[in-house]
Structure 1
Amino acid sequence: MDVTTDRSFEQVIWWQVYPLGFGGAPIRQAHTPGHRLRRLLGWLDEVVELGCTGLLLGPICASATHGYDSVDLRRIDPRLGTEHDFDDLVAGCRSRGLRLLLDGVFSHVGRDHPLVAQALAEGPDSAAAALFDIDWSDPADPHPRVFEGHDTLVRLNHSGDAAADWVTDVLIHWLDRGADGWRLDAAYSVPPPFWARVLAATREKHPDAWFLGEVIHGDYPDFVTRSTVDSVTQYELWKAIWSSLKDGNFFELDWTLQRHNDFLDHFRPNTFIGNHDVTRIASQVGPTLVPVALTILLTVGGIPSIYYGDERGFTGVKQDRLGGDDAVRPEYPDSPADLPRNDLWRMHAGLIDVRRSRPWLAGASTESLELTNTRYRYRASGDGEHLDVELDLDRPSVLIRDAGGGTIWEHAG
């Protein structure tokens, strides 16, 4: 089954950035306007030299705090800058051949969104009220339904026409301005028919746009089929990578890769070992095992993303509290000269080069050749080609051989 709008997206290696953190914007303090989005312009050449071919941005639209509580989806957050800053970023990506993916929050909006206040003031029959999922059983005290218990995040009414038309308009607006596609935040919490309707309407104007749905668990292929997104986030593999390394249990990874093979028969998942919502891989498994995790990421099928800072071994623990994401969403300096490359950066660049020189790896299936708790040897195969990958947790070490048995990558800790 082929659901990918543009097959060239299967070859993209994303560099994922959380712009508010990257630019040092205040999150919960008083908002200070600035042109922080422009800081990314100074890093685009570094992204290219690392080997990544796409920039995956976190939220950039106006919001109350962290970006996922929007107050205006058609305006750049003043903390990040202006539409002119965005246009320059688009131009910078275009001139370097980088794809640009935006983060769309269409499960909910911030409680401070002016249309929420308008809906509550004007009542259930108003145009604004049609956008939101509001309990009107007590007209004197209406209650907006919220996202996963967060009372600052008001759910859209995904069963109605108003929200579908509104979201379609926002998607097209930013695609018209130069974005190549969208990551759909909390896509799992939205009925798949809503996505199918919205994406069909969007693709009428932008047939090559690419859509990545955030899905944590469940039947990935079924979600892709019913929603018509092109890809989903492969959280199962993310968990299996760090867990198998941390616990010394490669049987978990092998079982998950068997499921991953089934997913690859239907679509190309977005694979990762870090993102803006999870503990840094270096904190999760320790610095000596990061090369093993990275090797897995870049030698199995899928569309990989590298979370900014992971390529330099940044640490940070996600915590379940107010501000608990701050440690994994850090500020970056103005220039790469202020953050020197290290051995891990060079390892990322080398393994990305191995992957980019073998485009068949995007759809590669894996089979186990040797399996113990702490040693795993697997073959990644596709288009008549293969690589053999050896992982050893006791040293720790990695070894990648080509089909002829020659060593193409080796690392011993």
Structure 2
Amino acid sequence: MSPDSVSSQNREHEALAAVLEHLVSSGPVHETDDKLHQGTSDHTAITPGPISVHKHTHWWGRFFPGSLESTLDRLFASYHMGNYVAIRGQPGQKIFESMPIYVRIGMHLLFYKSKEQSFLRYKSVEDLLKAVSIRQGKVYDDESNPQAVLEHIQSFISTYSIDLDELLQPDPSLYPSFNSFFFRKLKPGARPIAEPDNAAVVSSCADCRLTVFNDVAESTQYWIKGQGFTLNRLVGDTNLADRCFPPGSSLAILRLAPADYHRYHHPVGPVVCGPTKHVPGEYFTVNPQAVNAGFDVFSQNRRDVVVLNWSPKGDGGPAVPVAFVAIGAMLVGSIGWTNANQGTSAKRGEELGWFAYGGSTVVCVFPPEAKVKWDQDLLDNSLAGLETMVRVGDRIGISNA
């Protein structure tokens, strides 16, 4: 390779490093160590995500009437400048979740077109993503400056219109770190569980944007465009996939955004937890721009896999395996488990774990023997390439086993 080529690659890499820094914080002062500082909370991009549904407005709405604003939404979506999300219970109603300009530019450089044509063709870029993720995870775990922690939490509450009334601890000043607020707990009853006595029901394990598919082929046709996506790669265990999740297995993909409650719960029950497998990997974004663009984010990202042995006919009935895959994402440093030890019994809706620092995704895989039938509105939206906003405990399907 010529010196000019090496120099060009170095400049490209340096430019990308700057972009990644702006993905983390676009304020005038960046965290360059492992500490959280005051005066750096404005415009912080923890991960691409929406403004609150209840305060969904655009800056361009001040200059264009409603019809033109919706046209701009469609135009921006076509250029991957945001995502449409359906609102459940409101047929035909959907919102456009826009992203900050610095996030859009960074994601365009990283995830537009194929991996071979993007910055991610360089192994050093993957290493950089991991390093930035780990560093920012430490920053948001930092408890050394309570005033800086409170400043960042208050900025986050304002940006995403967080409802403090539903929190178990509603006082922002009592959280010792930003992460402790990020995976905050809710009051008991804040997320009612649909049909709690019906063991056949499948409910959402998270506050999220949801897609569901009857099989892998359907998911790769309408949503997951990564050419290398298979269940073998997703669970990181060929023997497990071949034995428990043959062709015809159905999937639920649950994507969390920054504003969402970041604890996840059992989607089915009663269950007995199997072993947890830790699969090393990358820290690519789980945003639809990457998922729809040909990146194998679900089977390449760092993830944990636990098998839930579910009895859809209730206690004492035959059990079927369900793969629960918690996937780390771009600038997400931690996947935590509340009570997933092998042999642990649980009911649907009980807390299972949490994501620290940033949005991420859960993929649940059900074998054909589970005979899961997804709720039709969710399936229709998914086959139209549209996520649906749901919350923990909402019914999303039922087993006919």
Q: TM-score, normalised by structure 1?
A: 0.25
Whose relative contact order is higher, 1 or 2, with alpha carbons under 8 Å and at least 6 apart? 2
Give the number of the structure whose residues are more often helix, by fraction. 1
